[in-house]
Structure formats: C-alpha cells, structure tokens
Structure 1
Amino acid sequence: MTDQPRRTQAQRRAATIAKLVEATIEAIAEVGYHNASLGEISRRAGVSKGGIFRHFDSRTDLVVAAAEEVGRRHMRAFDNIRARENADRPLDLAHILHRARNQIRQETNTVWFELLVAARTEAELRARLAPVARALIDDVERVAIAALTPAVPADVARLLATSVVHMFDGEAIFRSTYPRPELEDTRIEYVARAFQQLTGEGRVDSSS
C-alpha cells in the first residue's frame, strides 16, 4: 500500500481555514449570527479557539470570510441561470425568475440575511460587509445582463436583477412567519409580464 503524501503546511492551513469558514456558515444558518460564538464555531470545526486566532484576527474577520464564501457559492449557482436549452427559442423570463427565487431561498443564503440585519447596528460589520455586498450585487447584475440581453436592454436587465433580488430576499425572510404560497407563482407571472410590457420586447416569454 502506497503511503499518502504528507500535506504541506500551506495545505494544512488552507484545510483548517476551510473548516472554520464552513463551521461559521453552518452556525449562522442554524443558530443565528449572535449565537454563532467563537465557542460554537470552534466546536463545529473541531478547532480550538486558539487555533481560530492563528488564522483570523477576530470573529468579524471570520464572519466576513464566511460571507465572501457564501457569495461565491451564490454566484456559482446564479451563473447557471445563464444557460439556455435553446438560444433560438424565446427567453422564458418566468423560468429564470423561478430559478432565481429557488436559489435565494437556499439555507446558505440565510447567512446573508442574518449578517445584513446585524450590520444595521454594528458599524464595523457594516463597513466590512459593504464591499462584499457590492461585489455580490455587481455579479448578480452581470449574470442578469448575460442571461437577458439582447431580449432586453442591459440597463433594464440590471434593474430587473436588483429588483428581483430585493423582492425575493424580502419574500424569503417574511415567509418564515407569514407564508403565502398561493401568491408566490402568481407574483412571478405578473413580474414577468410587467417587464415584458416595460421593454416592449415580444421575444420575452412569460409562460412558466
């Protein structure tokens, strides 16, 4: 049996950081930002508190690293929205909206909701998250432009992307206390039709 090659120090460091980031994401998603203490993260990652501070200067640094990773995962999923089965067929805007909503409802995305609410009253967290949030929204708009043009102009695609993100973010948060599933699909149909009328583009197909 061949011995497995020993990992380098850099590889061990990267693996530990990945475990800490994953534990932070899981903790925030499951118990909330304020309950995701260093002790909770340490327990989940199997890394001592001292081990955490060998890689991150503060809890905020670790939380921001987790937010960046959530953003990367979010965008890998959103990038798939650009794929179309047949580019010669009319763009199915309602289908794209369904896919976007499903992605926004993923449990991992609740980490963003937790952090954005906490950032409202924590100045340091707000300042650190601002460029991360800006980069994520910029990426979402980029994907929307790639997916929707030339059926709709780029500026309208950008408007649609940010409007949809804010709408579905609010829907995802509110549905935990007041779910209204009977309105959800109808809402998507009306939004698709409204943007079709706004752009005047007959190619946009709002059927699901």
Structure 2
Amino acid sequence: MRDEAAAPRTQAQRTAATRAKVLDATITSLVELGYAKTTTQEVNRRAEVSRGALLHHFPTRESLVVAAVGHLVDRRMSEILGRPRTGDEDISVIFEVFDGPLFDAALELWVAARTDEHLRQAMVPLEQKVSDALITGSAELFGPRYSPAQIALSIELARGLAVSRILRSPDDDRALVDELLTVWKAMVADA
C-alpha cells in the first residue's frame, strides 16, 4: 500500500504551492522593502520560482501585489474567525486586524495608489473585499451587539490609529491604543 505522504502532488497542488510561495514572498517584500522596491524580479528571487511561473500567475506588478494583500486578508480573517469563541469578543477584535504584516503591506499599496492610477484601479476591488470581509466577519463575531455604523466607525478608528502608529514607539502606541479603545468601548456601549 502506498504512503499518502509519498504520493506525487497533482498539478493543482503544485500550482497552489507555487502561487502561495509567490504571494508570501510578495508580502515579505512589501513589508521589508516597501512598494517601490517590490519588483517582480525581487519577488521572483525571494520565491525561488521561475520567471515564467511568476508571470503566468501574475502578469503585472499591480496584479501581483494586490493578489498578495488579498491572500493575506483571507488568511488573517480565517485566523480571527477560526479562533475558539468565548462569547466575550468585543469591538477590540477589529483593532487586531490593523496590526501586523497585513496592515503594513496594505498601507504600502494605499500610499503608492495615491499617485499610481493603475495601482489605484487594481486596489478598488481589493478594498471592497477587505471592507466586505470586515463587515461580514464582525457580524459573525458580534451578532446584533453592534450596529453597522458602530462597526464602520470602529474600522475607521482602528485604521487611523494604525496609520499614526508609524510615528509612535511601541510602548507609546500600546498605551494610546489601550486608552482610546477603553473610551471607544464605553461610548459604543452607551449608544
């Protein structure tokens, strides 16, 4: 009897593995080097795939970076929604979404999209996907506890705090976020 682990991978499995390597390499490059230095050549080098394989999946840099952030959004939402539920989840979960490599990579693209029309056009569907995922995920986590307006305002507050984090030390950031989150939770609870 053949060992399942030793069975050759299917074409679909090889394609998915190549795609994942490329997307992970893109995120790492965006976070470490920024958008300007995240070229298809740099991603190709990091992913250790053939140039043809990279271009087959992602014919343009815009399609590559947008797909990478979309991939990370899916992964991050799965992590958050896949956690064991305690029933005590509150609005602070939204603030977690805007922390770490997902936010750093997305921020790189937002800033670049301000002056790059091709990237901006590619980002619009991604931003809709992010918004939809946040709203759907929040509804799943919180049920009717928060109104759509409270969730939307929480998302905007979390995003703004994450942007301004760039200019604060980690300790100052944690203290500020903790303080503002406490105030925000009280305001939402009183609404």
TM-score (norm. length: structure 1): 0.78
Which residue of structure 2 aligns with residue 85 of structure 1? 86
Query: Are residues 1:121 and 2:115 paired?
Result: yes
Query: Are residues 1:28 and 2:18 paired?
Result: no
Q: How many pairs were matched up?
A: 186
Structure 1 residues 21-70: Cα deviation after superposition (integer angstroms, max 9, x where no partner): 11111111111111111121111101233332232221222112112101
Identity value in percent: 30
Amino acid at match of 2:7: P
Which residue of structure 2 aligns with residue 177 of structure 1? 167
Which residue of structure 1 aligns with residue 10 of structure 2? 8
Range moving further from structure 2, 140-149 or 69-78 = 140-149
Query: Are residues 1:144 and 2:146 paired?
Result: no
In the alignment, is the contact (CA less than 8 A) between 1:20 and 1:41 conserved in 2? yes
Q: Any idea what SS the aligned residue of 1:65 has? A: helix
Structure 1 residues 89-118: Cα deviation after superposition (integer angstroms, max 9, x where no partner): xx563xx41x33233212233111111111
Cα distance in 1 for partners of 2:11, 2:82 equals 35
Cα RMSD between the aligned structures?
Answer: 2.4
Query: Are residues 1:195 and 2:185 paired?
Result: no
Larger radius of gyration: 1
Structure scoring higher RCO (CA < 8 A, sep ≥ 6) equals 1
Which residue of structure 2 aligns with residue 75 of structure 1? 77
1:52 to 28, 31, 54: 54
Cα distance in 1 for partners of 2:18, 2:141 equals 37
Which residue of structure 2 aligns with residue 203 of structure 1? none
Which residue of structure 1 aligns with residue 102 of structure 2? 108
1:131 to 100, 104, 125: 125
Q: Any idea what SS the aligned residue of 1:131 has? A: helix
Cα distance in 2 for partners of 1:13, 1:65 equals 15
In the alignment, is the contact (CA less than 8 A) between 1:56 and 1:62 conserved in 2? yes
In the alignment, is the contact (CA less than 8 A) between 2:81 and 2:141 conserved in 1? no
In the alignment, is the contact (CA less than 8 A) between 2:27 and 2:101 conserved in 1? no
TM-score (norm. length: structure 2): 0.84
Which residue of structure 1 aligns with residue 40 of structure 2? 38
Distance 1:187 1:47, change over 3 A: same
In the alignment, is the contact (CA less than 8 A) between 2:35 and 2:109 conserved in 1? yes
Pairwise CA distance, 1:78: 3.5
Distance 1:139 1:92, change over 3 A: closer
Structure 1 segments, 4+ long, off by >6 Å, are none
2:153 to 163, 167, 170: 163
Cα distance in 2 for partners of 1:16, 1:143 equals 28
In the alignment, is the contact (CA less than 8 A) between 2:27 and 2:105 conserved in 1? yes
Q: Any idea what SS the aligned residue of 1:35 has? A: coil
